[in-house]
């Protein structure tokens, strides 16, 4: 199994270019199967999760041309299967994003239960509630761990759907399904993440009639047909946050290019509270943590525009190194503190009480053998390793490769002492 070795690297310095957003690209690709026309998606990062989505769509009948780096041309002249592939679904929970589009285009989807990051119970009840509200029949076969969703003979019809929690995936699935439903759909308490707006923008280019994406009440007027489009994904705000923290934890300075400051406001605000200098310049976001006394702050994760749960573990790694103690509260996922065990192997002494982690701060972390317990936790381990003494050896790095493009290469270019090794 491949591993990443990280040595204390001193202050990182330089520029980094942010890739297209993984969490945008996955639904953007899924949406393309709602038309038989060709769609062109640009700024697609080279990631394991993107490969899984491509394979998933090809099983349904998509034809994909990805010869040009960063661009995917995709057309689905006809649907040849409506069964989700169990292995692919286990590999990536976002395979679920194909349910809404398949239901809209084909009227049926048979989906094995999903896998993905092991960050707590991740039910799909809200997705299914949405499909039911649109008039679909949902049959859950618990024994075989399969869900079958079927539209009636006249297809889907619009309705008002209230989400008990502003789930990103459920909002995206319902949004896609509703574009081809008869009549009007309103999603109440919808997720407001930038990736939802990106998806709505692509769908509108394809001929959908979606209004107010980015608010908690999205309105969709169903249309009879969608057509092709050219669409460029937004930059990855989580990758942006990760490199902001790389500057902070190594007490370095990094100019982050192709970042949208409006998408990372809570991360900028929290870093400033810790006395890190963060400036928005015409070239990008400049983060400078050199020669400064850094202090603690508390973090509470929330749906957008609150502090992103995906940056909780990288930020926690940073908080172990500043003066004073911090409280990190996770409210989005049930069990997203698995990185705490790994950080503690490096001497962090973090305590967990229910959904709060008490981070003592002021630690000189020591290199250790640690695991990337999920995608973002893996990033946190790399950050911790950069600032720790000695060598940190990170296993299970396939999690990192799911969601960060050229992670090791980008860190090397900033002066990090990091390498990927293969133990085969």
Give Cα separations from 40 to 191, 206, 212 (angstroms): 25, 11, 24
Give whichever of 4 and 311 is closer to ligand UD1, judged by the CB atom.
311
306 binds ligand UD1 (CB under 6 A): no
158 binds ligand UD1 (CB under 6 A): no
Report, as residue numbers or ranges, the catalytic residues: 117
126 binds ligand UD1 (CB under 6 A): yes
26 binds ligand UD1 (CB under 6 A): yes
CB-facing half-sphere around the CA of 54: CA atoms within 13 A = 17
Question: Strand 326-329 vs strand 299-300: parallel, antiparallel, or unpaired?
Answer: parallel
CB-nearest residue to ligand UD1: 169
Q: Is 231 helix (H, G, I), strand (E, B) or coil?
A: strand
Give me the sign of the Cα torsion angle 140, 145, 149, 150: negative
**Would you give the distance in Å from CA 197 to the centre of its chain?**
14
Tokens read off for 127: 């997705």
149 binds ligand UD1 (CB under 6 A): no
Q: How far is the CB of 379 from ligand UD1 (least distance, A)?
A: 12
**Interacting stretch for ligand UD1, rule CB under 6 A, among 100-108, 124-132, 317-325, 392-400?**
124-132
202 binds ligand UD1 (CB under 6 A): no
Give, in degrees to the nearest 5, the angle at Cα 85 between 83 and 87: 160
Q: How far is the CB of 300 from ligand UD1 (least distance, A)?
A: 14
As a whole number of angstroms, the distance between CA 90 and CA 82 comes to 17
Query: Site residues for ligand UD1, window 170-199 (CB under 6 A)?
Result: 170
What are the residues whose beta carbons fall under 8 Å from the beta carbon of 230, sequence distance 6 or more? Answer: 39, 40, 42, 205
Give whichever of 39 and 170 is closer to ligand UD1, judged by the CB atom.
170
Whether 410 contacts 382, CB under 8 Å: no
Please identify which residue in 124, 161, 278, 340 interacts with ligand UD1, judged by CB under 6 A.
124
Q: Is 256 helix (H, G, I), strand (E, B) or coil?
A: strand
**Interacting stretch for ligand UD1, rule CB under 6 A, among 2-10, 100-108, 167-175, 322-330?**
167-175
CB-facing half-sphere around the CA of 162: CA atoms within 13 A = 1
167 binds ligand UD1 (CB under 6 A): yes
250 binds ligand UD1 (CB under 6 A): no
310 binds ligand UD1 (CB under 6 A): yes
Please identify which residue in 332, 380, 397, 408 interacts with ligand UD1, judged by CB under 6 A.
332
DSSP characters over 94-163: GGGGGHHHHHHHHSEEEEEPP-----S----HHHHHHHHHTT-EEEEETTTTEEEEE--TT--B--EEE-
380 binds ligand UD1 (CB under 6 A): no
Listed residue (240, 245, 249, 209) closest to 225, CA to CA: 209
68 binds ligand UD1 (CB under 6 A): no
387 binds ligand UD1 (CB under 6 A): no
Question: Strand 13-17 vs strand 253-257: parallel, antiparallel, or unpaired?
Answer: parallel
94 binds ligand UD1 (CB under 6 A): yes
**# residues contacting ligand UD1 (CB under 6 A):** 20
**Interacting stretch for ligand UD1, rule CB under 6 A, among 160-168, 219-227, 248-256, 409-417?**
160-168
As a whole number of angstroms, the distance between CA 415 and CA 84 comes to 43
Tokens read off for 321: 């190194």
333 binds ligand UD1 (CB under 6 A): yes
372 binds ligand UD1 (CB under 6 A): no
Give whichever of 161 and 394 is closer to ligand UD1, judged by the CB atom.
161
234 binds ligand UD1 (CB under 6 A): no
Please identify which residue in 68, 80, 123, 160 interacts with ligand UD1, judged by CB under 6 A.
123
Please identify which residue in 107, 169, 252, 367 interacts with ligand UD1, judged by CB under 6 A.
169
Instruction: List residues near ligand UD1 by CB under 6 A.
Output: 23, 26, 93-94, 121-127, 165, 167-170, 309-310, 332-333
């Amino acid at each position: 199994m491949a591993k990443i070795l990280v040595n204390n690297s001193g202050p990182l310095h330089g520029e980094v270019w942010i890739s297209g957003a993984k969490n945008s690209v996955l639904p953007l690709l899924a949406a393309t199967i709602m038309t038989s026309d060709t769609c062109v998606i640009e700024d697609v990062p080279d990631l394991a999760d993107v490969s899984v989505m491509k394979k998933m769509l090809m099983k349904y009948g998509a034809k994909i041309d990805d010869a040009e780096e960063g661009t995917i041309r995709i057309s689905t002249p006809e649907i040849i299967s409506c069964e989700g592939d169990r292995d692919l679904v286990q590999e990536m929970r976002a395979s679920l994003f194909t349910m809404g589009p398949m239901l809209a285009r084909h009227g049926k989807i048979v989906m094995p239960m999903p896998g993905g990051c092991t960050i707590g119970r991740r039910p799909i009840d809200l997705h299914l509630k949405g499909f039911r509200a649109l008039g679909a029949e949902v049959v859950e076969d618990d024994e075989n761990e399969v869900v079958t969703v079927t539209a009636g003979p006249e297809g889907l019809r619009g309705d008002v759907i209230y989400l008990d929690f502003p789930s990103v995936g459920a909002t995206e699935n319902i949004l896609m399904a509703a574009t081809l439903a008869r009549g009007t759909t309103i999603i109440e308490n919808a997720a407001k993440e930038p990736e939802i707006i990106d998806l709505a923008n692509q769908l509108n280019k394809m001929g959908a009639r979606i209004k107010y994406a980015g608010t908690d009440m999205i309105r969709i007027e169903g249309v009879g047909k969608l057509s092709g489009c050219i669409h460029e994904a937004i930059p990855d705000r989580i990758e942006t946050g990760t490199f902001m923290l790389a500057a902070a934890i190594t007490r370095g300075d990094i100019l982050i290019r192709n970042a949208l400051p409006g998408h990372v406001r809570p991360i900028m605000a929290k870093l400033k509270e810790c006395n890190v200098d963060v400036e928005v310049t015409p070239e990008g976001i400049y983060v400078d943590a050199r020669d400064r006394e850094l202090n603690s702050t508390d973090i509470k994760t929330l749906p957008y525009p609150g502090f992103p749960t995906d940056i909780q573990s990288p930020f926690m790694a940073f908080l172990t190194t500043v003066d004073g103690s911090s409280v990190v509260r996770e409210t989005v996922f049930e069990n997203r503190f698995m990185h705490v065990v790994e950080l503690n192997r490096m001497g962090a002494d973090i305590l967990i009480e229910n959904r709060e982690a008490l981070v003592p701060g002021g630690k000189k972390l020591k290199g250790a053998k640690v695991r990337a317990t999920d995608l973002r936790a893996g990033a946190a381990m790399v950050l911790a390793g950069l600032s720790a003494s000695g060598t940190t050896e990170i296993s299970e790095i396939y999690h990192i490769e799911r969601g960060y493009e050229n992670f090791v290469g980008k860190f090397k270019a900033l002066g990090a002492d990091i390498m990927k090794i293969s133990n085969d």
